């Protein structure tokens, strides 16, 4: 062809690249504290990192084995122990919280108040008091009945802090004046203490000007008579664990989750080394996203009021699931196998390698973790609370139930999220790759075709039921769609360029988790 054509007309032809979604429904994210080891390769550990093997996790400084492993390190070890092995595991590290400098100032000022008030009264009686400034711990040793204790300075200290416009809470209950301090239930417990009884632990938090809350510990002891020498010599009767200092103050886990949301590629969040008191907060946040949260439940049996069974998370969340972690319900905390703290990670890794719609969360075989030995009544209690568990059946260790705490199936939530993402991506691709989608019946049909293509793909994956037939041979479709006719739309609707009332109904394929079979044996011919 003559190049002289370019003098009259030029033609450039490009191939439109389809738009791709950055959503991923096959990877898990482990959320927890930073590594305590030294990275083998000097580098900055990313706030949210992607790791392709356990070796990469170890190279980042996470300790995965030994006496004092990192929670995230052990969780990663559990994840990469599953079959098939995950190709990627995301890790989000809790960062130092903003406001730590304000917390430091609060510590200095509160320490000063405590030093002034604690144990300085001349008429102090019935106890001795020590204040460990570095540990932020006050220790009261009773030398007589609690009813005889006078002027420890604790009440005076709290009152002084409140008067200086600090917000003070004792065991989670805010105090505002002298009467509210004296009315705290813990003071009645102290009065009723007996010699040689268990120490009473109190935690007070101090806040000021929006800075991070600062914790103080108060321990009250009533030693046996032979141990009173300790009190007389004003010695600390026990080693007190220091309260975290500001440079160790970490952001709350839900803030870590919010930050991790900015990194695409993961779908299920699993915690490691996070106190269970944060689970509700995480669940509440995840409910506002299009992700899921799995946690290991350790406190269900007898964990509520009056000893009733109570999960760590309320039953209102459709994006949060829990799996029971103890080998048996009476197992002490210090005897729980290390790996079982991360059953949530094992469950997520075993589940997510399946395509959405093709799977169920139940009956998944897990590696490197121990099954629970549960009675039938205990299993029933877990199921009624919509919690998952891991048991041995027929020589196989498998997950059971497969639900979120809000009484829906985990696989249904995941498939719904996938379908929404897939349909959105297809429709966006239509608008991007077509020069124009006209506001006519033909243009509306193009939108409907993308809806149907997504639903058909969902059908292929197993999330949507295939076409079936009733006893009369009538078709029962897996899905139906409906879109408006152009002639039925108003001029203003067309002028807005917004197409509304595109609808579909799809029949979930669901899954069979139990089969009831009955039969008869007979000598008669059949």
**239-278 per-position pLDDT tens digit:** 456 666 555 567 889 999 999 999 999 999 999 999 998 9
DSSP per-residue string spanning 461-488 = HTSBPPPEE-TT--EE-SEEEE---GGG
pLDDT at 234: 46
Could you give phi then psi for residue 423, rounded to 5 degrees? Answer: -65, -40
Q: pTM for the complete prediction?
A: 0.74
d(CA 378, CA 301): 9
As given in the structure block, the two tokens for residue 189 are 């417990």
Higher pLDDT, 248 or 410: 410
Tell me: cis bond preceding 84? Omega within 30 of 0 counts. Answer: yes
* 202 or 30: which leads in pLDDT: 30
Give exposure, 306-345, as e/b (b: 16+ Cβ within 10 Å): eeebebbbeeebbbbbbbbbbbebebeeeebeebbbbbbb
Looking at residue 241, its pLDDT comes to: 60
Q: Which two tokens stand for residue 250?
A: 């970490």
Q: What integer pLDDT is reported at residue 169 of this predicted model?
A: 87
User: Parallel, antiparallel, or unpaired for β 214-221 and 200-207?
Assistant: antiparallel
pLDDT band of residue 236 (cuts 50, 70, 90) is: very low
Cα 484 to Cα 494: distance, rounded to the nearest angstrom? 12
Residue 481 contacts residue 504 (beta carbons within 8 Å): yes
pLDDT: is 231 or 283 the higher one? 283
> Are residues 467 and 475 in contact, defined by beta-carbon separation less than 8 angstroms?
yes
Q: What is the pLDDT of residue 40?
A: 75
Contact (CB, 8 A) for 415 and 389: no
In whole angstroms, give the CA distance from residue 443 to residue 496.
15
At 205-220, the pLDDT tens digits run 888 877 778 888 888 8
Model pLDDT, residue 496: 96
Instruction: Output the CA torsion 46→48→49→50 (10° steps).
Output: -160
Asked if 301 contacts 381 with a C-beta cutoff of 8 angstroms, the reply is yes
pLDDT digits (tens, 9 = 90+) for 440-495: 999 999 999 999 999 999 999 999 999 999 999 999 999 999 999 999 999 999 99
pLDDT > 90 fraction of the chain, expressed in percent and rounded: 62
Cα separation, 231 vs 237, in Å, equals 8
Listed in sequence order, the residues at least 6 apart from 357 whose beta carbon sits closer than 8 Å to its beta carbon are: 411, 415, 418, 458, 461, 462, 463, 464, 509
Neighbours of 82 (CB within 10 A): 23
**Residues with Cβ < 8 Å from 200, sequence gap 6 or more?**
186, 189, 190, 193, 219, 220
Q: Distance (Å, rounded) from C-alpha 322 to C-alpha 343? A: 9
Does residue 430 carry a pLDDT above 80?
Answer: yes
Residue 83 confidence (pLDDT) above 90: yes
318 vs 42, higher pLDDT: 318
Q: Are 286 and 319 in contact (CB under 8 A)?
A: yes
Residue 174 three-state SS: strand
Using CA atoms, how far apart are residues 154 and 181, in angstroms rounded to an integer? 9
Distance CA 16, CA 11 (A): 15
Torsion of CA 417, 419, 421, 425, to 10 degrees: 180
Mean pLDDT in residue range 337-359: 97
The DSSP string of 343-373 is: HHHHHHHHHHTSPTTS--STT-B-SSS----
Report the pLDDT value the prediction gives residue 3, as an integer from 0 to 100: 61
Which stretch of 154-163, 301-310, 386-395, 418-427 has the lowest confidence by average pLDDT?
154-163
DSSP conformation letters of 7-73: GT------PPPPP-----SS-EEEEEPPPSS--SS--PPPSEEEESSHHHHHHTT---SSSS--HHH
pLDDT over 50 (residue 337): yes
Half-sphere exposure of 338 (CA within 13 A, CB side): 15
Q: What does the mean pLDDT of the chain come to? A: 88
Residue 338: strand, helix, or coil: helix
CA distance 7 to 22: 43
Q: How far apart, in Å, are the Cα atoms of 48 and each of 51, 90, 274, 465?
A: 10, 7, 17, 38
- Least confident stretch, 175-179, 270-274, 332-336: 175-179
Average pLDDT over residues 327-335: 95
The answer to whether 360 and 388 are in contact (CB under 8 A) is no
pLDDT tens-place string over residues 6-61:
667 756 665 556 777 778 999 999 999 999 888 876 667 889 999 999 999 999 99
Q: What is the pLDDT of residue 232?
A: 45
Q: Name the CA dihedral angle for 347, 348, 351, 352, rounded to a multiple of 10 degrees.
A: -170
Mean pLDDT of 408-412: 97
Structure tokens at 483: 């879109």
How far from chain centre, in Å, is Cα 494? 45
pLDDT band at 235 (very low <50, low <70, confident <90, very high): very low
pLDDT for the residue 231: 43
Query: In sequence order, which residues have a C-beta less than 8 Å from that of residue 191 and are 6 or more positions away?
Result: 146, 147, 149
| Distance from C-alpha of 166 to C-alpha of 248, rounded to nearest angstrom | 22
> Is a pLDDT exceeding 80 seen at residue 119?
no
């Amino acid at each position: 062809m003559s190049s002289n054509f370019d003098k009259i007309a030029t033609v450039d032809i490009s191939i439109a690249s389809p738009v791709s979604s950055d959503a991923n429904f096959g990877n898990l994210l482990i959320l927890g504290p930073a590594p305590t080891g030294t990275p083998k390769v000097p580098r900055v550990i990313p706030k949210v990192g992607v790791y392709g093997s356990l070796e990469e996790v170890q190279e980042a400084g996470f300790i995965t084995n030994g006496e004092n492993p990192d929670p995230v390190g052990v969780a990663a070890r559990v994840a990469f122990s599953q079959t098939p092995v995950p190709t990627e595991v995301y890790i989000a590290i809790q960062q130092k919280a903003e406001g730590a400098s304000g917390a430091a100032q609060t510590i200095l000022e509160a320490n000063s108040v405590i030093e002034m008030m604690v144990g300085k009264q001349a008429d102090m009686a019935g106890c001795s008091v020590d204040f460990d400034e570095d540990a932020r711990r006050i220790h009261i040793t009773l030398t007589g009945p609690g009813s005889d204790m006078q002027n420890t300075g604790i009440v005076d200290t709290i009152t002084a802090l409140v008067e200086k416009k600090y917000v003070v809470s004792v065991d989670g209950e805010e105090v505002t004046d002298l009467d509210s301090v004296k009315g705290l239930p813990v003071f009645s417990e102290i009065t009723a203490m007996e010699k040689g009884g268990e120490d009473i632990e109190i935690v007070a938090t101090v806040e000021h000007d929006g800075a991070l809350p600062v914790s103080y510990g108060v321990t009250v002891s009533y030693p046996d008579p032979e141990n009173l020498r300790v009190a007389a010599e004003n010695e600390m009767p026990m080693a007190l664990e220091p309260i975290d200092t500001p440079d160790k103050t970490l952001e709350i886990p839900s803030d870590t989750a919010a930050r991790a949301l900015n990194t695409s590629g993961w779908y299920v969040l699993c915690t490691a080394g996070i106190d269970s008191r944060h689970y509700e907060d995480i669940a509440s946040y995840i409910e506002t996203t299009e992700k899921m949260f799995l946690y290991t439940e350790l406190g269900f049996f007898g964990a509520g009021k009056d000893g009733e069974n109570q999960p760590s998370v309320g039953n209102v969340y459709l994006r949060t699931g829990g799996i029971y972690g103890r080998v048996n319900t009476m197992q002490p905390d210090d005897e729980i196998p290390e790996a079982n703290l991360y059953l949530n990670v094992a469950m997520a890794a075993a589940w997510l390698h399946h395509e959405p719609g093709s799977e169920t969360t139940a009956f998944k075989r897990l590696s490197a973790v121990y099954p629970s030995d549960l009675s039938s009544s205990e299993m029933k209690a877990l199921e009624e609370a919509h919690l998952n568990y891991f048991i041995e059946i027929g020589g196989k260790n498998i997950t059971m139930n497969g639900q979120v705490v809000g009484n829906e199936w985990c696989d249904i939530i995941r498939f719904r999220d996938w379908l929404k993402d897939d349909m959105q991506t297809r429709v966006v691709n239509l608008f991007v790759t077509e020069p124009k989608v006209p506001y006519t019946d033909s243009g509306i049909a193009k939108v409907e075709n993308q809806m149907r293509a997504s639903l058909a793909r969902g059908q292929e994956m197993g999330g949507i039921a295939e076409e079936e037939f009733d006893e009369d041979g009538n078709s029962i479709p897996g899905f139906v769609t409906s879109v408006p006719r152009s002639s039925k739309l108003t001029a203003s609707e067309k002028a807005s360029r917004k197409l509304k009332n595109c609808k579909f109904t799809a029949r979930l394929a669901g899954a069979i988790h139990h089969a009831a079979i009955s039969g008869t044996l007979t000598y008669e011919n059949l």
